[in-house]
Structure 1
Amino acid sequence: MPLLVANERPLPESPKLDKFVANNVSLDIQKNVADLVAQNSPVKSRKAKRIRFLANGDRFCKGVIIAITPERYRSFDSLLNELTRALSNNVNLATGVRVIYTMDGQKVSSLDDLEDGKFYVCSGQGDTLKRVDYSVGRSAVPSAGGPPKLKPARSFTRLTNVGHSQSSSLKGTNNHSVRPRIIIVLRNGNRPRKVFRLLLSKRNAPSFDHALSNITDVVKLDTGAVRKIFTSHGSQVTTLDGFFDSDDVFYAYGSERVSADDFALDFEGRALPKLPNKTKALKVQKRQDSSLNISSKVLNNYSVGQIIGDGNFAVVRKCVDKTKNIEYALKIIDKSKCIGKEHMIENEVAILRLVRHPNIIQLMAEHDTPAELYLVMELVKGGDLFDAISRAVKFPESDAQVMTQNLASALAYLHDHKIVHRDIKPENLLVEMDGERLKLLKVGDFGLAQIVNEPLFTVCGTPTYVAPEILTETGYGLEIDVWAMGVILYIMLCGFPPFVSANNDQEELFDDILSGQYGFPSPYWDQVSDLAKDLISHMLQSNPELRFSAEDVLDHPWFEISEN
């Protein structure tokens, strides 16, 4: 059929002309269609944006490169979930990726805000952008608009987050040898040289370069970054394992020369701290049973029995579920004694509703009345650890291991959820016994527990177990629970606390705690292993930044030994 053009006469029919017109019209139509698609279709805007995502505060992390299209990520949350999986091994993102920042600290809130070829920093919830030098991980990102192009699989490849080279960082490193420990670092320079203490663990030192970076931040050499580390014997440390051998004293250097005289130390004599006297265990005064005055709503469901514990404004009784025939502990809180402290009760119940852990007492049910609040709790029949210590005076290490591991596991769970207990003491630790042996421990009484979003300043707790940062009123956090656990472990192994007042004077006791001085006196500690003493010394660190976390406690090699 001849082609008609507006206001033109039909072209004369001709086989050659028809063929020519058909070919050219086909090309024109294809070109026009392509132009229309390019101008009007969303395909152009859906071209993949290739972006490198780094980890907040980790200058050695090379990050991941991800190709982003609307088809691949339907929402901003789907990208956050993918980044959480891709960066799951990074110690700085233990809680997952919740926020993305630009390199200048602006928060990104949508996929449209991400620009092709740019760098972004992934962070956890509530963390601000850490202003470190991310240049190690910032190699060029290929733009989506031109070569070289990445294979699709490359987008999800998890890059190793080590330093300048794998050979220098990981050579000779055995992850199983990385145990939490405190090292002493001397800064090279004029004498007297400054001495620093630093906690290294697999969380803050997954590689040799990470360890050097942490030492650099603490030591602050005048010449800049720490380039070389030597042991006290003059051997250079070149692998991560070197920090976890027998040496615990190290020398930090920049680019300056090393002299043999640098490793000569002058020790000053110092008198031993005054050792604490053995104290007698106090007996818990139990309130006499009184006539039952319990809500009928509770009595309809439970048979209520004898008193098994009490406190300032609550009493705990045994009870039996009439339907299930299961024994529980019934905590009865007298609201008339809580006037002005209602928020503490509400806080305790709210936390108990949240937590589920085998080493934490579980809240089974609650019944609220105008006069009392009834909490039906899991019952642990062995009593509390205070009574167990009173009977046994001290425990074999195997029992102490069970207790400490159970308690550390519970605290690690609580601390992971930003909950500080604030009253870890033997009276609040319930135990199950197997004859004379400790079988299981559970944490109870969350009356002082609180979710921590910022430093706390309220002075609370029990004097013997209170951490020094509570007394100084400079602000405290989750670390205070580990201090209390260290005091309890000390008591379990010898029968008396590390900090005491000979005159039973509280101010004197607090001064003793603030001094941080304690010992392992003979003969009480002669049969206790060095590993147990080492763990205690890491838990009873006056500086909370050097103190073990609950996770660090669980990683300690003491739990791998067993008594013959």
Structure 2
Amino acid sequence: MALEDGEFRDDECGELLKWYIRHEKLGHGGQGQVYLLSDAARNRHRYAGKMFKLESCAERETRILDKLRPIPGVVFLHGLRRERKVGGRCFGTMVMELCGPSLRDLAMKGPLREEEVAEIVKELAETLKGVHSSGVVHRDLKLENVFTKLQDESTIRPVIGDFGVATDDAREMSQSCGTEKYMAPELIFVERYGLSYTKAVDVGVIAYELLKGYQRSNLEMHLLREGEFQWPANLSPEAKNLIMGMLDLDPRKRLTLDQRLMLLLLLESKDKGKDVVVAIMFAAKHVMKLVILINIVGIFRISDFHFLAGDFGVSNVPLVLLQWKV
């Protein structure tokens, strides 16, 4: 295999080559290079191998991905092959699940259907909930870092990868990091205001670009910062309201991951032509959150709202009946 300038030679990754065959380069970044790998024994199973220059970068990302192994929507880590040669340019190779094209690759071919984008947003929100529950934030979620499941060609199943700048250290939450295009306005000045990355608008920007097609220029993203949307033709009011909720300039009004998932669930029911009954068996303040969410999105109305009186062994269970606006 012919190597380009700066690529690791075979003698710099000898430990890796005892177990895997290295094929073409898939990509590269500031921390290393990614190659297609296959197992040396049978040359049948294929993987992605990220080869690192620095020990600190390799150990950090490996530790983060190992922590996130149970989450289906995160690229699966098979292990880290460290090189024994002291002082060599390649410290080691992180062997991972091989994924399909990135969302950027798909968006560059043109806009995706609204139903496809809704499913992608739903799965991304579910994955991010798991990531955040594990005490990790990605800090650079964008089209290029979300890939697709290779084995499932019938639907687009997003897989989050490239956790090179991800962190589980609370002290790093006060450091500005990421791609400005996908960051909430207040996060660009996170060092000044000390805000959290979990309030990011990255999924909203991803949804917007998937519906419009990939935008090479940052001009349109600057318009989004001002709340000005250039909608694709024939986009439903529900999709517009969902995206505006995810990209709200006011972080207090911006939809959380839980709210996004709730809305997508409700929209699925709307597509089936059914009214929705939502029972929330918590304090009434949680119902008020739902009522506020309903008012923000404005795609359905409350037709009934009362408390059950212990019929199910609990008292004061809020019951909300939602009917879709015609």
Task: State the match for 2:14 in structure 1.
Answer: 296
- TM-fit CA distance, 1:311: 0.8
Q: In the alignment, which of 95, 101, 118 is matched to residue 376 of structure 1?
A: 95
Query: Distance in 1 between the 2:5 and 2:58 partners?
Result: 24
3-state SS of 1:439 partner: coil
3-state SS of 2:178 partner: coil
Structure 1: tracts of 5 or more residues without a match: 1-286, 336-341, 503-508
Q: Is the 8 A contact 1:289 1:307 kept in 2?
A: no
Query: Distance in 2 between the 1:417 and 1:434 partners?
Result: 26
Task: State the match for 2:317 in structure 1.
Answer: none
Task: State the match for 2:194 in structure 1.
Answer: 475
* 1:334 correspondence with 2:47: no
Structure 2: which amino acid aligns with 1:396? R
* 1:486 correspondence with 2:204: yes
Instruction: Kindly indicate whether structure 1 or structure 2 has the higher relative contact order, using CA contacts under 8 Å at least 6 residues apart.
Output: 2
Q: How does 1:502-517 map to 2 (within 5 A)?
A: 515-517=225-227
Q: How does 1:51-90 map to 2 (within 5 A)?
A: none
How many residue pairs get matched? 257
Q: In the alignment, which of 320, 340, 346 is matched to residue 59 of structure 2?
A: 346
* 1:306 correspondence with 2:19: no
Q: In the alignment, which of 387, 391, 396 is matched to residue 105 of structure 2?
A: 387
Task: State the match for 1:431 in structure 2.
Answer: 148
Structure 2: which amino acid aligns with 1:352? L
Query: Distance in 2 between the 1:290 and 1:344 partners?
Result: 17
- TM-fit CA distance, 1:389: 0.9
Query: Distance in 2 between the 1:314 and 1:541 partners?
Result: 35
Give the 3 Å change call, closer, same or farther, for CA 323–477 of structure 1 in structure 2.
farther
Structure 1: which amino acid aligns with 2:258? E
Query: Distance in 1 between the 2:92 and 2:28 partners?
Result: 14
Query: Distance in 2 between the 1:386 and 1:396 partners?
Result: 15
3-state SS of 1:307 partner: strand
3-state SS of 1:364 partner: strand
Task: State the match for 1:550 in structure 2.
Answer: 257
3-state SS of 1:415 partner: helix
Query: Distance in 1 between the 2:71 and 2:79 partners?
Result: 16
Task: State the match for 1:443 in structure 2.
Answer: 160
Task: State the match for 1:416 in structure 2.
Answer: 133
Task: State the match for 1:245 in structure 2.
Answer: none
- TM-fit CA distance, 1:484: 0.5
Q: Is the 8 A contact 1:408 1:550 kept in 2?
A: yes
Q: Quote the sequence identity (%).
A: 25
3-state SS of 1:318 partner: strand
Q: Is the 8 A contact 1:420 1:452 kept in 2?
A: no
Structure 2: tracts of 5 or more residues without a match: 273-326
Give the 3 Å change call, closer, same or farther, for CA 422–480 of structure 1 in structure 2.
farther
3-state SS of 1:456 partner: helix
Structure 1: which amino acid aligns with 2:249? S
Task: State the match for 2:228 in structure 1.
Answer: 518
Bigger radius of gyration, 1 or 2? 1
**What do the CA deviations read for 1:357-404 (whole angstroms, capped 9, x no partner)?**
111101101012343221000001x2211111112x210012112221
TM-score (norm 1): 0.42
Query: Distance in 2 between the 1:304 and 1:472 partners?
Result: 42
- TM-fit CA distance, 1:426: 0.8
Give the 3 Å change call, closer, same or farther, for CA 437–531 of structure 1 in structure 2.
farther
3-state SS of 1:408 partner: helix
Task: State the match for 1:364 in structure 2.
Answer: 78
Query: Distance in 2 between the 1:558 and 1:452 partners?
Result: 36
- TM-fit CA distance, 1:290: 5.2
Q: How does 1:120-139 map to 2 (within 5 A)?
A: none
- TM-fit CA distance, 1:519: 1.7
TM-score (norm 2): 0.70
Query: Distance in 2 between the 1:433 and 1:328 partners?
Result: 11
Q: Is the 8 A contact 2:142 2:202 kept in 1?
A: yes
Structure 2: which amino acid aligns with 1:448? V
- TM-fit CA distance, 1:454: 6.0
Query: Distance in 2 between the 1:453 and 1:542 partners?
Result: 24
Give the 3 Å change call, closer, same or farther, for CA 399–289 of structure 1 in structure 2.
farther
Q: Is the 8 A contact 2:21 2:37 kept in 1?
A: yes
Task: State the match for 1:62 in structure 2.
Answer: none
